[in-house]
Amino acid sequence: MSTAAIAALIVRYGLVMLFLPFSALDKILGFKSAVQQAQEVFKPRMLAALVLICGLGIEVIMSLGVVTGFADRLAALIMATYCAATAVLYKRFWTRGDFWAAGDSQGRALFWDFLKNFSLGAGFLLIVIGTNGSGLRPFLAHPFASSQPYATSPEHP
For each of the chain's 157 residues, which pLDDT tens digit applies?
Answer: 899 999 999 999 999 999 999 999 999 999 999 999 999 999 999 999 999 999 999 999 999 999 999 999 999 999 999 999 999 999 999 999 999 999 999 999 999 999 999 999 999 999 999 888 888 999 999 999 999 999 876 544 4
Query: For residues 62 and 73, what is the distance between their CA atoms, to the nearest angstrom?
Result: 10
pTM recorded for the entire structure? 0.92
Please report, for the chain, the start and end positions of each structural domain, with discontinuous segments joined by +.
3-141
Find out whether 78 and 62 touch, Cβ atoms under 8 Å. yes
* DSSP characters over 72-88: HHHHHHHHHHHHHHHHH
